[in-house]
Structure 1
Amino acid sequence: MIVSASRARGGQRPLHGPPGKLLVGNLFDIPPYHSWLKFKQWGDTYGPLFRLNLVGRQLVVISTEKVANDLLRERGNLYSSREYLPMASGIVSRNMRPLLLPYNDRWRRGRKLMHQLTMPTAADSYQPVQDYESKRMLSSLIDNPRKYDKWFELYASGVVFRIGFGKWIETGEELEVKRIMEVNHNLERVASPGAYLVDSLPFLNMLPEALAPFKLEGRRLHDEELSLFRQLQNDVRRAMEKGSETKSFTRTFIENQDTYQLSDDEGAYVLGTLFEAGSGTTAAAMMSFCLSMCHFPKWQKKMQDELDQQVGSRMPGFRDIPNLPTVRAVIKEVLRWRPVTAGGFPHELTKDDEYDGYHFRKGTIFHPNQWAIHREPTLYPDPDNFRPERWLDPKFPTTYKEPLTKYPNLQNFTCFGFGRRICPGQNIAERSLHILTARIAWACTMRKKRDASGNDLPLPLYDYTKGFNTQPEHFDFDLVARSPERYEAVKKALVEAKANREP
């Protein structure tokens, strides 16, 4: 018997999916990592909506942008909750992490704070931080390209640490920086589908800690992250008491805490979530950018030609971005081709609903599979290939928009999620990705490693890390400054930026 997330009643259609096994359903059919690849195969077989049964938990996978928008955006009042995960939501986060909260009052209060901190006018005010950190990243990348992953992570965490907590990261080796990055990695691990059996068999949560080692681990992880979040918040309070005028997310929260109606710990989790959302994802996207440039060098050349024409020997800045549609198209195509959150993040239905002849029960989990959505051939012809021209050429009517001074952009792009659960940091991320892409292409040329005979060494198109946020496994490539003059310009720009940055 196949258990379905839809009830065929009154002529309504049953929702199909892969046949499961007795009692466990499809639980063991889902790969332990990169599950979006298998979901894409099932979507090709069963259609844009198909169902999975995970020991009675009903999961519906969405494989097209239209269906995702119809349900998760247009009916956001019904499809904006989260499934309760006993380990990640409860034990580790104590029901305070906005990413994992259901659609309730606590989530709405936290979202209000996040919106004020990340709306476009606020995001514009953070550009001086992004300007400085991108110059530092560029200098480090040219000097030591082998450590590209470290430089991208240092950039992303440096930006969010400064605007979040009012502190500059100097080396990336600071203890609090290492601690918050560890919190990020732990979250990705514990919230990954299938990471803990208790998420599929919730009754295990009733066991005493002596018989449930996952509880001991979860309590330790919670204590670690909450003590860090409290420390960062208290550091800002102490600095304010000493007369510091440095602006930050945390300062805004402290000064307006009564308005947001959030406790210290609730606010600390909101601000910690913004760091989580803004650090690893930006770095991962830039690593995929490097991979794409090694595989598709003609687009690197197209960007360089555009930059030479628009800015010449001057390093590009934020004011140049509207005149660089090729740069914007390349990074948007990177996010389509290799989405960071490739499997998407699940939404939970809060009330029975009907759609396209299907009946969905309250509590059904809807999983927008970004990997499949970004490979929908009617929207993205030749979807497996890297083709930024789809954003620039009228021959691609489903993706091309005018004017090219505004489009392509990353606003509400599906890589950031859907509806009321869309990533709150998308405005900051867009500015980071645009300035990084423009400056790297202006200053550098990258290519595959070559052997002694000058032949390109093999480089996998898809060799990515595990977790719900994913990036290429470390790979080696060659990167050089485009000219001695541009190398010197990068070094000079960094010296000037450091001298002029706020204390």
Structure 2
Amino acid sequence: MIVLSSDQAVKDLLDRRSGIYSSRPDMYLSHNIEYGETWRMLRGIVHNSLNIKASRAYVPYQDLENKAMLLGFLEQPARFFDHLRRYTNSISTQVIFGFRTLDIDDPKLEQLIHGFEKWSELAGSQTAALLDVFPIFRYLPDAILPTKRYARKLHEKELDLYAGHYLTAKRKLKEGNSKPCVCADIVRAQDEFKFSDGLAGYLSGSLLEAGSDTSASTLIGFIQALLIFPEVPKLAQAEIDRVCGDRMPDLNDLPDLPYIRGCIKESMRWMPTAILGIPHATTRDDEYLGYHIPKGAGVVLNVCRWAHDNQTSAEAANNRDASKRDQFVFGAGRRLCQGMHIADRNLFLAISRLLWAFDFERPIDPSTGPFDAVINPRSELKAEAIRVEWAKMTQLLDDDLQWKTVPEGLVWRDYEPDEAKASF
């Protein structure tokens, strides 16, 4: 296993030699797709759906869910964890499948979160390491290694969830009842390339996993940071008030809110969601700085080490050249997160509007355990603005609070040139 702890090594190997470093290790229980024709086909489908231009079509979904989240913070501030998780999951289900997640207690969302937790435990278990390092043990019967049976059950439940979502979206598309979503592109690609519903389900499901968990974790870390560093929200709110006044921030304000963009970057650096990323693997032997790297070697991005190198992170944070990468939270090389443009907007809308609308303080007598926060609207004027904006959004929803239609050019048809001026 090779661990990359410098930005230069990551760029030299994973970026510049991406043809060698884009596979995945042979992780028996995880069933990762190795670098090859199938992976390149799937990556092309997702890139066409979620590249920086195509992803702008989904801004109406992000705007609506953000305003629903703000209303949740206003009415039930103690449940801010739940509001953030529902916010990122509902954007993901809309972008990928075309439907909203209405409540944190939705059974399918609970199943998804439960799956995250169980797979994390399984992937870090001693049995998983044993089966990866000594493949001969993979042939042992389930009676001796019951973890194998448990992993199969998790896969079956996961496939049932993902394929169910996908097949529903596929049926609605065929019936002409679907909303704009990534699954529409997957269905068209499936007709062309003839891959299975199972593979299509896992492709859409992997996007759902990534979109639901990472952005929510970043936002939870952001709120924790606000409580630890109370001077930061004061500076951020001063910038927002100067630029936006009493109106709610939108994506057109992105170029004029550099401190907010800095808060987003710092949230990802200070508490990265995947401290070691997802391992890459080499497809052939290589040499780097006098070291021999054998074919099939696992390659890990030490995101946490790089993020907390004071000199490196400080230089990156103050680099105004948008072409210079300043963090590796979204990965590197050809395995770079395809949903990062959606994630960037999720974070900007959430962070800018939460700071515009609310004050965040520590509880007077905090107890040991999960951190808590006292969240209050900054003014009644802002609280009423949230209610008014959500009332406008509900006019676009049916009795089940799903979209009636997606109006052409909803909200920010003309924001693209302004947004292009600024980089996260």
Q: CA deviation at 1:79?
A: 1.0
Specify the SS of the correspondent of 1:210. coil
1:266-285 correspondence runs (5 A): 266-285=199-218
In structure 2, C-alpha distance between the alignment counterparts of 1:422 and 1:435, rounded to whole Å: 22
Question: Would you say 1:250 and 2:158 are equivalent positions?
Answer: no
Contact 1:411 1:427 survives alignment (8 Å)? no
CA distance in 1, matches of 2:126, 2:48: 34
Structure 1 CA distance for aligned equivalents of residues 174 and 44 of structure 2:
26
Q: Tell me whether 1:72 sits opposite 2:72 in the alignment.
A: no
The 2-side partners of 1:458 and 1:181 are apart by 26
Normalization by structure 1: what TM-score? 0.75
Separation in structure 2 between the aligned mates of residue 221 and residue 128 of structure 1, nearest angstrom: 34
Residues 313 and 326 in structure 2, CA contact (< 8 A), matched pair in contact too: no
Q: Which amino acid aligns with 1:292?
A: A
Q: Establish whether residue 148 from structure 1 lines up as the match of residue 80 from structure 2.
A: yes
The Cα offsets for residues 430-473 of structure 1, whole Å up to 9 and x where unpaired, read as 0100110000000001011124xxxxx588xxxxxxxxxxxxx7
Cα 1:116/1:450, change in 2 over 3 Å: same
- Which residue is equivalent to 2:67? 135
CA distance in 2, matches of 1:186, 1:83: 20
Secondary structure in structure 1 of the residue aligned to 2:210: helix
In 1: Cα distance, 2:174 partner to 2:334 partner: 36
Would you say the 8 A contact 1:112–1:260 is kept in 2?
no
Shift of 1:291: 0.7
For the structure 1 residues 351 and 237, does the alpha-carbon distance in structure 2 shift closer, same or farther, using more than 3 Å as the test?
Answer: closer
2:106 paired with 1:192: no
Task: Select the residue among 420, 428, 450 that pairs with 2:342.
Answer: 428
TM-superposition CA deviations, 1:50-74 (whole Å, max 9, x none): xxxxxxxxx1211111111111111
For residue 25 of structure 2, give the secondary structure of its aligned residue in structure 1. Answer: coil
Distance 2:354 2:153 in 1: 41
Letter in 2 for 1:180: L
Q: How has the CA–CA distance of structure 1 residues 261 and 239 changed in structure 2, closer, same or farther, with 3 Å as cutoff?
A: closer
Distance in structure 1 (CA, Å) of the matches to 2:178 and 2:286: 50
- Summarize the alignment of residues 89-488 of structure 1 with structure 2, pairs less than 5 Å apart: 89=31, 100-192=32-124, 194=126, 196=128, 197-381=130-314, 396=315, 398-402=316-320, 413-451=327-365, 457=366, 474-488=370-384
- TM-superposed CA distance for 1:149, in Å, is 1.1
Q: 1:446 and 1:125 mapped to 2: Cα distance?
A: 32
Residue 499 of structure 1 is matched in structure 2 by: 395
Question: Please, which runs of 5 or more residues in structure 1 have no aligned partner?
Answer: 1-58, 90-99, 382-395, 452-456, 460-472
Q: Write the distance in 2 (CA, Å) between the matches of 1:332 and 1:185.
A: 26
Mark the CA change 1:349 to 1:198 in structure 2 (over 3 Å): closer, same or farther: same
**Counterpart of 1:329 in 2: which secondary structure?**
helix
Shift of 1:176: 2.5
Residue number among 7, 21, 27 corresponding to 1:85 in the alignment:
27
Question: Is the contact made by 1:307 and 1:442 (CA closer than 8 Å) also made in structure 2?
Answer: yes
TM-superposed deviation, 1:259: 3.4
Unaligned runs of 5+ in 2: 398-402, 405-424
Offset from partner CA, 1:113-159 (integer Å, 9 cap, x none)? 11112101121111111101011111111322221111111001000
Alignment CA distance shift 1:194-1:80 (3 Å): farther
Q: Which moved more, 1:346-355 or 1:245-254?
A: 245-254
Aligned-partner SS, 1:359:
strand
Amino acid at match of 1:484: E
Return closer, same or farther for 1:428/1:260 CA change in 2, 3 Å cut-off.
Answer: farther
Take 2:122 and 2:12, find their aligned partners in 1: how far apart are those partners? Answer: 30
Distance 2:104 2:24 in 1: 33
Give the TM-score normalised by structure 2.
0.89
Instruction: Name the CA distance, whole Å, in 1 between partners of 2:38 and 2:81.
Output: 35
> Quick one: which amino acid aligns to residue 318 of structure 2?
Y
Structure 1 residue 245 displacement after superposition: 4.2
Task: State the structure with bigger RCO (CA 8 A, min sep 6), 1 or 2.
Answer: 2
SS at match of 1:416: coil
Which amino acid is the alignment partner of residue 342 of structure 2?
I
Cα shift at 1:195: 6.0
Note the alpha carbon deviations across 1:63-95, whole angstroms, 9 max, x for none: 111111111111111111111111122xxxxxx
Q: Residue 216 of structure 1: CA displacement?
A: 1.2
Q: Which residue of 1 aligns with 2:420?
A: none
SS of equivalent residue, structure 2 residue 17: coil
In structure 2, the residue matched to 1:386 is: none
Secondary structure of 1:78's aligned partner: coil
Query: How big is each residue's C-alpha offset from its partner over 1:325-383, in whole Å with a ceiling of 9 and x where there is no partner?
Result: 111100111101111101222111121111111112112211111010112233124xx
Distance verdict in 2 for CA 1:148–1:378, change over 3 Å: same
SS of 2:179 mapped into structure 1: coil
Q: Aligned-pair distance for 1:262?
A: 2.9
Is 1:64–1:376's contact at 8 Å kept on the other side of the alignment?
no
CA distance in 2 between partners of 1:175 and 1:379 (Å): 43
Which of the two has greater helix per residue?
2
Q: Deviations for 1:181-213, whole angstroms, at most 9, x for unmatched residues?
A: 333333333333746232333222111223221
Q: Is the 8 A contact 1:88 1:190 kept in 2?
A: no
1:175 Cα deviation after fit: 2.5
Counterpart code for 2:17: R
